[in-house]
A and B are shown apart, each in its own frame.
Chain A
């Protein structure tokens, strides 16, 4: 069955430390993976998509089909990165976007 797994509910790091938010997926079709971010009291917004291979706010994510992973990374965390991060999978077989359970990133000063 298709699913998105984010194993960490909470990730706490100090400012300037590297960050890696883990995401694994299970899908037999051709996946499109996304990272969405929800800052406190703000709307859910698209952060990254794997097909763009871009870096947004210093974050990058690489799709690893062999390991079925799409981990989100940033070399030096900033306090303003504190937010809820959701990994999402677009399924071309059903035209649905499903979300992982989310990881709350807390960056301490």
Chain B
């Protein structure tokens, strides 16, 4: 398995809802990432998990809450989002968190906040 799988592919949620995005990889990668990509913009780093520990939080608002239950899974819990949070949320993984090596990206969850 050489892929990063993200579910759901699309999500529409209200501003008072609580939802979660899920990311899974079975490549034995020990670093996982959440990126946010607005239309026609590059991906922007949100969080980095290295060996299942949160190592980087790019000053992301607390309405986004990441979780790494094990080395293969990464979740992003969403609560009280704003319409401007609508974007494509990308998960990625890499062999380790301390070297470049190239990332493997999932196909993303397209989130719409209404």
Contact = CB atoms under 8 A, between A and B. Distances in A.
Contact of B103 (A46, A100, A101, A102): A46
A94 B50 CA distance: 13
Given A86-B42, A101-B41, A102-B42, A96 B104 contact: no
B41 A97 contact: no
Nearest to B97: A95
A22 to B, nearest CB: 15
Interface string A67-100: 0000000000000000000100010101111111
27 contacts: A32-B100, A34-B100, A36-B105, A43-B107, A44-B90, A44-B105, A46-B103, A46-B104, A49-B101, A49-B102, A51-B100, A90-B99, A90-B100, A92-B99, A92-B100, A94-B56, A95-B48, A95-B50, A95-B98, A96-B45, A96-B48, A97-B33, A97-B45, A97-B103, A98-B45, A99-B42, A101-B41
User: Which secondary structure dominates chain B's binding surface?
Assistant: loop
Contacts of B90: 44
B20 interface: no
Interface in B48-91: 48, 50, 55-56, 90
**What are the 8 tightest A-B residue pairs by CB atom distance, in nearest-first order?**
A90-B100, A32-B100, A99-B42, A43-B107, A44-B105, A46-B102, A43-B105, A102-B42
B43 interface: yes
Interface size class of B (residues with CB under 8 A): 20 to 34
A94 B55 CA distance: 10
B106 A43 contact: yes
Contacts of B101: 49
